[in-house]
Amino acid sequence: MTTGDVAAAPRSYTVVGPGGIGGTYGGRLHAAGFDMRFLGRSDVPTLRDEGLVLESVWGDVRTGPLGAAASEDPVALGPSDVVLVCLKTTENRQLVDLLPPLVRPGTIVVMMQNGLGVEEIAEAVVGGTDDVTVLGGLCFVCSTKVAPGHVRHIDYGRVTIGEWRSGYGASGITDAVRVVSDDLAAAGCPVAPQESLGVARWKKLVWNVPYNGLSVVLRAGTDELMADPDTRALVRDLMMEVWRGAEACGHGFDESFVEQMLTDTEQMTPYAPSMRLDFDAGRPMEVDAIYAAPLAAAAAAGAELPKVEALWRQLRFLDAAHR
């Protein structure tokens, strides 16, 4: 962070969940001079005593020992200007305990998560606090934690950010969106401020719904799903259902986006979606945020998404069988 004003303290950020996403953006913000805190569990001893190591296509970052800025205890960390929630959505039940000590009036909470409806969870926990603003952040990034306190960012990295409104009503580009977007841009991260978080989230679902679920159910990578004419057709059908769901919910966008996603994915490096990595590692899958919430929203708007629903049922079965 460069500023000519020596009196201005750098903005404070707390990263909740220093995994692949939290480590990537937290590491970049640290390198840019922001006042960074990390709320974690298994990573905390390493972060405290040795620091965060981020290997990144944007350049590597080594924070050095973080000391008291890494903790398992949100009360010890206290409130900051911005809280980046980088947990898996399957961990969101923890937010009722983790989030309140991290906010004060004026804090911006950014839900850096997949799926739909995750901002409502933050709103329910800290929305009663005056002047807490809830944003959604969608990360188009390939990064994974390879060891405690050690994150590898191998490709992409753009973040789209929008402010949450009840029912995902369009907010326009708000002050809070501008603040966080500018900070991430200052840290060298590509950002795309969004006028409508609802549209942004449904657009991301166009990718997440087919590739995450089918990669698990069929044990296949994005390249295999695109090379086979049957799964390519099924991917497209699932995307079109998501597109219709978005339309029904009032978050519509141009249909050409679907063809663009198909083409982009064909040109991507073969990639195992996050749900596949979770499944293979025996972790819970983000089935609620990526499937149940959009299906419920679409159903409430009168839209049936039968192929998405069938995939959701299959994933629920596999998720339950896994435990």
Q: Which of 43, 51, 46, 126 is nearest to 87 (CA)?
A: 43
Task: Work out whether 317 is an interface residue with a copy of itself (CB under 8 A).
Answer: yes
* Candidates 38-46, 170-178, 180-188, 311-319; binding stretch for a copy of itself (CB under 8 A): 311-319
Task: Work out whether 192 is an interface residue with a copy of itself (CB under 8 A).
Answer: no
Distance, in Å, from the CA atom of 159 to the CA atom of 192, rounded to the nearest integer, reads 6
Task: Work out whether 96 is an interface residue with a copy of itself (CB under 8 A).
Answer: no
Please report how close the Cβ of residue 219 comes to a copy of itself at its closest, in angstroms.
9
Q: Which of 123, 82, 90 is nearest to 106 (CA)?
A: 82
Q: Which of 197, 80, 182, 203 is nearest to 137 (CA)?
A: 197
Judged by beta carbon, residue 247 or residue 309, the one nearer a copy of itself is 309
Size of the site for a copy of itself (CB under 8 A): 26
Among 224, 257, 271, 299, binds a copy of itself (CB under 8 A): 224
Task: Work out whether 223 is an interface residue with a copy of itself (CB under 8 A).
Answer: no
Q: Answer for the pair 252, 298: CB distance below 8 angstroms, yes or no.
A: no
Which long-range contacts link 258-263 to residues 24+ away (Cβ below 8 Å)? 258/206, 261/206, 261/207, 262/226, 262/232, 262/235, 262/236
Task: Work out whether 179 is an interface residue with a copy of itself (CB under 8 A).
Answer: no
Task: Work out whether 313 is an interface residue with a copy of itself (CB under 8 A).
Answer: yes
Among 6, 282, 306, 323, binds a copy of itself (CB under 8 A): 306
Q: Answer for the pair 161, 135: CB distance below 8 angstroms, yes or no.
A: yes
Q: Answer for the pair 33, 10: CB distance below 8 angstroms, yes or no.
A: yes
Tell me 56's DSSP state: E
Distance, in Å, from the CA atom of 323 to the CA atom of 34, rounded to the nearest integer, reads 40
Please report how close the Cβ of residue 258 comes to a copy of itself at its closest, in angstroms.
17
Judged by beta carbon, residue 192 or residue 233, the one nearer a copy of itself is 233
Judged by beta carbon, residue 18 or residue 210, the one nearer a copy of itself is 210
Residues in contact with a copy of itself by the rule CB under 8 A: 214, 217-218, 220, 224-225, 228, 230-231, 233-234, 237-238, 306-307, 309-314, 316-318, 320-321
Residues with catalytic annotation? 204
